[in-house]
Structure 1
């Protein structure tokens, strides 16, 4: 079939892509070639000889030709459709988008008493540390389309509020409902990290779908509670191939009020930066220090860059086989060509 014919089919059939085996279209003229070059079949039956036989020859040629009666045009339609079916016509299906390949990401948030200190600024007004952290984490979640995210909070004890899930709206809701003191007033960093590692290693995680498992731990204090030492928890994370990013969050112990720095009692408690740095180094992650909301937002933007979500590839349109249609119609024409002469004789 010529290029022009293929373009005609593309115009008539929406989504027509072409033929998988176009070379089989070369079989279209085979009946004509066979009729032209193969010797005629000899009839050994008795024949009637008449003196006007030369007058019957045009009639005989017309009856056996392409334009003859007896459904010859149905034979040719059936043969043409058989050749089209053998060439495997194909159309393009609906576009298919490859799925995103994200990470298994556990957010670990400190809810100890010191997170209520109002030494942060958000939108030009003073807020406590937890409110600032929630705003930054919510914005971070908006950029993690494709990840399975879990939320774990800790104070004196550690609790998993949200298991690993692709439903980020559930994580946002649980994050919004979290309040200081929900898990106690103290700080159990080791227990929180150990529980995060356990959640990433349990059957609920899907190592086949995502080989990248990450913990982001935010705290503003030192380990003052719990049974598991933070460095021992870091060893467990490293053995499991889990990267841990640690974020030390808290001001310098003062509050800006009408342009003056006012000291806040208890707000300048020391953060165990050395231990947090060791946890990050042991697991292949990084340690960050944030003293205000802007720095915290920049840290999560940097983590977003370090742990990118793999974007979906280019959309593809699969090829769908359509040989069944011409094959079915060719079968129908063949039946008609077989039945039509017998009906006329009847």
Structure 2
């Protein structure tokens, strides 16, 4: 496929004729009249001043060269076939609680065997991340403090490896729920996509956050961040081991998200499937065509024609070869 990047350049085509009508181009010049000018011109092998006009071929070459220059200015380009690719129009952050209570072994797997809470969460998140191909994810872990374990990235293998390296208590024994949300909101500041989703998983109540969870939820709502909260643990427990379901529900309601509870590993896996149904992944389609300039071809042809025109002009104005004197007679040479 061909197209012109600057088609307006063709408006310059009449310029060649307009220049000939400019006063500066057609102004008379001072001349010296000679009564024997015709004989002088004939002896020089040239043409008369009033007859120094280009041949029809030279004028045709001049016109062709100008048209080729204008075509080059119009920048003809060859377009490749469309290159189409898709990218996710959603950024997703996983905020995982790794406080001391995540060491409890009360989550049951498919074989009815009790498992550590964090170990069961890792298995489910690992499968969830594997299905996010082409999507940007980030991982935040929090305990007494919140930390970015992996920033927003499409390198899901690295994110999974960093998830496997997390251990209970790495961020402290307590649960800074509000700080984790605030850190996630700051990560979304670099995001330009429309859909921003935070999946917040916790098994305890907020203790000592510098930013309260409800305040963080209001800020998230103002910045179009939807929060899905997942409660793991016993809501009837005591102290920091008690899941604060009321706060998690309030966070989800404020941000137009959703709230889930996970009593075992199978229920946790079902929660992540439910998340895909509530917030399906949006895909942005992009298209690109490679533009290959062809301007050098008309320019090269114009240069060749210009050389040809100069050669023809030189030949047409070259002085005639003067007649050679007749050779002397042999008799005269002998004399």
Which category describes the TM-score, using the shorter chain as reference length? Answer: 0.5 to 0.7
Contact 1:197 1:242 in 2 (8 A): no
Corresponding residue SS for 1:313: strand
Q: TM-score, normalised by structure 2?
A: 0.64
CA distance in structure 1 between the aligned counterparts of 2:134 and 2:298, rounded to whole angstroms = 43
Q: Identify the match of residue 186 of structure 2 among 191, 196, 201.
A: 201
1:155 positional shift: 2.8
CA distance in structure 2 between the aligned counterparts of 1:234 and 1:241, rounded to whole angstroms = 10
Q: Identify the match of residue 161 of structure 1 among 149, 160, 165.
A: 149
Aligned to 1:111: 98
Counterpart mapping for 1:149-298 below 5 A: 149-186=137-174, 188=175, 191-201=176-186, 205-207=189-191, 209-223=192-206, 226=209, 228-250=211-233, 271-298=243-270
Contact 2:141 2:180 in 1 (8 A): no
Contact 1:106 1:150 in 2 (8 A): yes
Corresponding residue SS for 1:178: coil
Counterpart mapping for 1:59-70 below 5 A: none
In structure 2, the gaps of 5 or more residues are: 14-36, 40-54, 320-335
Corresponding residue SS for 1:336: helix
C-alpha spacing 1:125/1:72, structure 2 compared with 1 (3 Å): farther
In structure 1, the gaps of 5 or more residues are: 1-15, 28-44, 48-63, 254-264
Contact 2:92 2:196 in 1 (8 A): yes
Which structure has the bigger radius of gyration? Answer: 2
C-alpha spacing 1:84/1:152, structure 2 compared with 1 (3 Å): closer
Q: TM-score, normalised by structure 1?
A: 0.62
Contact 1:122 1:132 in 2 (8 A): no
Aligned to 2:332: none
Aligned to 1:262: none
C-alpha spacing 1:122/1:102, structure 2 compared with 1 (3 Å): farther
Contact 1:246 1:288 in 2 (8 A): yes
1:46 positional shift: 7.3
Deviations 1:106-142 (Å, cap 9, x if unpaired)?
Answer: 3111123332315331588653222221122223223
CA RMSD of aligned residues (A): 4.3
Deviations 1:239-289 (Å, cap 9, x if unpaired)?
Answer: 444321101134899xxxxxxxxxxx99xx753322211111012111012
Corresponding residue SS for 1:183: coil
Contact 1:120 1:251 in 2 (8 A): no
Contact 2:199 2:229 in 1 (8 A): yes
Aligned to 1:52: none
Contact 1:251 1:292 in 2 (8 A): no
Contact 2:141 2:171 in 1 (8 A): yes
C-alpha spacing 1:80/1:236, structure 2 compared with 1 (3 Å): closer
Contact 1:151 1:163 in 2 (8 A): yes
Corresponding residue SS for 1:284: coil
Q: Identify the match of residue 77 of structure 2 among 90, 112, 115.
A: 90
Corresponding residue SS for 1:195: helix
CA distance in structure 2 between the aligned counterparts of 1:102 and 1:244, rounded to whole angstroms = 17
